[in-house]
Chains A and B, each alone.
Chain A
Amino acid sequence: MDVSAQHDASSSGNVDDVGEIMQAIAEHKGCGTTGGSGKASCGSQAGQGDLPTEIWEKVKNHPCYSEEAHHHYARMHVAVAPACNIQCNYCNRKYDCANESRPGVVSEKLTPEQAAKKVLAVASTIPQMTVLGIAGPGDPLANPEKTFKTFELISQTAPDIKLCLSTNGLALPDHIDAIAKFNVDHVTITINMVDPEIGAKIYPWIFYKHKRYTGYEAAKILTDRQLQGLEMLTERGILCKINSVMIPGINDQHLVEVNRAVKSRGAFLHNIMPLISSPEHGTVFGLNGQRGPTAQELKALQDSCEGEMNMMRHCRQCRADAVGLLGEDRSAEFTTEKIMAMEVKYDADTRKAYQEKVEEERVAKVAAKQEELAELAGASSDIKVLAAVATKGSGLINEHFGHAKEFQVYELSTAGAKFVGHRRVDLYCQGGYGEEDSLETIIRAINDCHAVFVAKIGGCPKGDLIKAGIEPVDQYAHEFIEKSAIAWFKAYLDKVNSGEIEHVERGDAAIRQGALISAA
């Protein structure tokens, strides 16, 4: 079945015609926050903020499009699209895509029918699962029949689930009609460059119109098609997120230019991700020793682009078959074998009731933050510090230090608490006893933080953290993250002002390589 519109899109339409829409979207800078250094993080205001209602409705429970939503809502990917039409130097398809999947383990490929069944099974088990994405392990639009058949089946059986896809953009202009037809209202395009000279260092080849292109020519075709596809989607009012892999020495400085190019074409959100490259992944970059950025390099680039548009900082570079909240992976619970054995009853009412409760929680969380912020109103200081948080979700400090698979990082200033990233860590607590090596790994991962907020922490790691200059904070166990972080920061400022402690800058931190995997 060919559901895709195979017309040759020779023109993306006049930019002037769509200028107004693009401008309107661009001005909202992603999630309805205002500009300036002290602005709140994506979507974390009391709600809609300055976003038009129709855009807010699209992002408010999409964990990948709203930082605020990602504490509460889950997503899943179905691996129905194994084929790809380009080769990237950070990807080794022999073992799946290194940036989207756990390298070395081949995900189960699913047929569209199996995928539809899996979606229903997950939606019934995890009522806060609101989004179904197709992100590979190849490129969804290099597998258009499988991709759109999957969307068709899901839109029939579970119409409340949002559909989205993530593409390299090469085939995008050919499939705009099909994307619109199935109400896919979120599309992510991976754009790593707008200069073919740089592209030639990232993409060894593309397969386009029955021909393999290499070098400059390949990158030129790719960038033209990506930007054309972005303009066409914007014209239709389909929200676009741009993913960029930050590759130090190749495109790190250039991504500022990419940011401007995609913003001017109406992109909604820009997600700059660190390169994942270890020799064991077998990628070109992994094998030739290309390094990824440090935590501070990544943050500095994200900060420098933020004046232009909103930046996504909560991306977990997840697997093409991931299931759950962004910081967790429950895919092992939903193997094909297990799904086929499940009695699935799709109950839209239960899901709705659950999600209404989630919304109540969100309102309470925001109210608590606002209250605490008001207390901070009189304070004036240039001090900014980072704090790491152990959380299982819902915007609460509700994870033990030793059980945390990742820490969320907030930047604290007199403007409030702003989500600026996350750090994956190896499990520190294995079988009830601490391992020194993993503690060192954790300290390296959060070395740029002044404090770490946890629900609970043992005596030993507590001592080592203090020695490393990171204050373990367990007095806000099971309370809201932002409210607690602001309260702690206020006390920190008071201590600095009274001369009780001296404020010192922290060093850099390491970004752990390898995709997040579920705990064994």
Chain B
Amino acid sequence: MPFKIIASQCTSCSACEPECPNVAIREKGGTFVIDPKKCTECIGHFDEPQCVAVCPVDNTCVIDTSLPRYQAPA
């Protein structure tokens, strides 16, 4: 399950974009979105998901439960 950004809460501050180690975040329609194909939940990069850690609005970068969890390549 990769992360997603809840658009209605996103302030479009752009803080998450440069922090993403997978370059999975971009601006789209006034807010920011995470490409689920690129998101690795920061596994292998950092101890905590960077978008969650830097986001100024709590509970805005959240796990997308509709998708399977990220599997690190064997």
Contact = CB atoms under 8 A, between A and B. Distances in A.
Given A83-B13, A143-B14, A212 B48 contact: yes
Contacts of B14: 82-83, 143
Given A93-B56, A210-B19, A210-B53, A82 B48 contact: no
A138 interface: yes
B6 interface: no
Contact of A87 (B9, B11, B12, B56): B56
Contacts of A145: 18
A210 B14 CA distance: 16
B43 interface: no
A91 to B, nearest CB: 9
Contacts of B50: 210
B38 to A, nearest CB: 18
Given A210-B46, A212-B48, A85 B13 contact: no
B53 A207 contact: yes
B15 A138 contact: yes
Instruction: Give chain B's interface secondary structure class.
Output: loop
B53 A84 contact: no
Interface in B21-73: 46-48, 50, 53-54, 56-57
A109 interface: yes
Interface string A130-149: 00000001100011010000
Given A93-B13, A207-B15, 14 more contacts: A82-B12, A83-B18, A83-B54, A85-B15, A87-B56, A93-B11, A93-B56, A138-B15, A143-B14, A210-B19, A210-B46, A210-B50, A210-B53, A212-B53
A184 B48 CA distance: 35
Contact of A93 (B19, B46, B57): B57
Contacts of B53: 207, 210-212
Contacts of B11: 82, 93-94, 106
11 contacts: A82-B12, A82-B14, A83-B15, A93-B11, A94-B11, A94-B57, A109-B12, A143-B14, A207-B53, A210-B53, A212-B53
B7 to A, nearest CB: 13
Instruction: Give chain A's interface secondary structure class.
Output: loop
Nearest to A207: B54
Interface in A193-231: 207, 210-212
Interface in A50-89: 82-85, 87
A94 B46 CA distance: 27
Report the contact-size class of chain A (Cβ under 8 Å from the partner). 10 to 19
A222 to B, nearest CB: 15
Q: Which of B13, B47, B48 has most chain A Cβ within 10 Å? A: B13
Interface residues of B, number: 16
Q: Which of A85, A143, A210 has most chain B Cβ within 10 Å? A: A210
A84 B13 contact: yes
A93 B10 CA distance: 10
Nearest to B52: A212
9 A-B pairs with least C-beta separation: A83-B15, A212-B53, A93-B56, A82-B13, A207-B54, A83-B14, A210-B46, A83-B13, A82-B14
B16 to A, nearest CB: 8
Nearest to B53: A212
A93 B9 CA distance: 11
B13 A138 contact: yes
Contacts of A211: 46-48, 53
Contacts of B18: 83, 145
B3 to A, nearest CB: 15
B46 A142 contact: no
Contacts of B48: 211-212
A261 B11 CA distance: 35
A82 B56 CA distance: 11
A163 B13 CA distance: 23
Contacts of A106: 11
A279 to B, nearest CB: 18
Nearest to B21: A210
Contacts of A212: 48, 53-54
Nearest to B10: A94
A145 B46 CA distance: 23
A143 B9 CA distance: 21
A100 B13 CA distance: 15
Interface in A101-155: 106, 109, 137-138, 142-143, 145
Contacts of A94: 9, 11, 56-57
A93 B54 CA distance: 12
